Amino acid sequence: MKIACIGTGFVGVVTTAVFASHGHEVAGLDIDENKVASLSKGQVPFFEPGLNELLNKTLVSGNLTFTTSYQEAITDAEIILIMVGTPSAADGQADLKYVLATAESMAPYLKEDAIVVIKSTVPPGTNKKIEKILKQKAKVSFTTASVPEFLREGTAVEDTLHPSRVVIGSTNKKAADKLAQLHRPLSDRIIVMKPESAQMSKYAANTYLATRITFINQVADLCEKNGADIQEVIAGIGEDSRIGDHYWYPGFGYGGSCFPKDVSELAAYSRAVGESDNLMNKVHDLNQARTPYLMEKLGKKVGGWKNKKVAILGLSFKPNTDDTREAPSIAIINHLQQNGAEVTGFDPMAKWRGDSTNFSQKESVVEAVAEADVIIAVIEWPEIVSFDFSKTKLDKQQFFIDGRNQFEPSILINNNYTYLGIGRK
């Protein structure tokens, strides 16, 4: 098939490369000339495992090209995938200005019976807005659909090549069948529903996962009050098949480009439709307060942050990505700086882009913890979790804060660290 992918951000680059690798003729479209020039040379502007290799392979095959021209990308495309940004507006809901502008720009070049698919995360009802614009400006018949993405940074290529499910939002059987044909080599778990249901599925999925993190953080706080161990509690509830032992991450809260944004937008959307007193609003508020709450509590346990040398291990919001958007490290480092600490940081991929006052990024764990009074292991990068901290123990009291409960407490305690976990003694 001939496919046009509009928007070459994280989702756009991964999607273009994957469909091109399956033999489709794919054009990646972006108005950013520098980005298009870099991608055309096989240069990915962010780190994602396996993506650089896949991108270059598909460029060499000739199945993938990048352009800034709507006419060039859209004219022969059977399927157009919209993957442009949807930043949060002033009222907290998704700002659709780029989605709507894309519809206006593509309309004059649409091919007869083209399928226009929204992959950007948008609120239910967006398809109707797109259709209104296209009907005014397009010269041919067309259909619209929604196929939300469920990619995880760090495993995005694998998630696209082998998705757990493909959700197709369309009431047009011919369009739904063609989209199913496109995705069938990737997955046999294809679910067809209304566009509104597909768009709600994306918001609901991310908000539910964020809720699990928020919930287990609340339980961890109770464990610290009563002597229970949150990891033992997780083992106890995890054997219930309705609950499972997966995706419980007690710590500094969720971050990244999706969870904070999607939860906040669903909360704002719910307020806009008259459902303000609901769980979505509370989850967002609790996560916003999580890191300040922990840093205040931990500060008391280490004797205050003033003049402390603190090593932050893990700057990205999760392993296997260089993305620091809404990362816990941002609020942690800001809190430490405001309270007079001297901070060092280490991350295998991510770079600190915030205030550098009293902050120094190091090239290794060894350098980061060299003089530390307090070590805070924030993100479970393999380079951090597998590190032997017995080799760097100093002849002074050192606190080790296990921000994701990834370490065996007894090992650190036996090496004379003062261990502080989340929801555990």
Helix, strand, or coil here: 105?
Answer: helix
Q: Which candidate, 148, 147, 149, 118, places its Cα nearest to that of 131?
A: 118
As beta bridge partners, residue 28 has: 5, 66
Asked about 258 being catalytic, the answer comes back as: yes
Helix, strand, or coil here: 336?
Answer: helix
Asked if 372 and 355 touch (Cβ cutoff 8 Å), the reply is no
CA–CA dist 306, 289 (Å, integer): 22
* Largest CA-CA distance found in the chain, in angstroms, rounded: 77
Among 230, 258, 384, 422, which one carries the catalytic annotation? Answer: 258
Q: Which candidate, 424, 338, 333, 322, places its Cα nearest to that of 376?
A: 333
Asked if 182 and 4 touch (Cβ cutoff 8 Å), the reply is no
Asked if 285 and 275 touch (Cβ cutoff 8 Å), the reply is no
Active site residues: 258
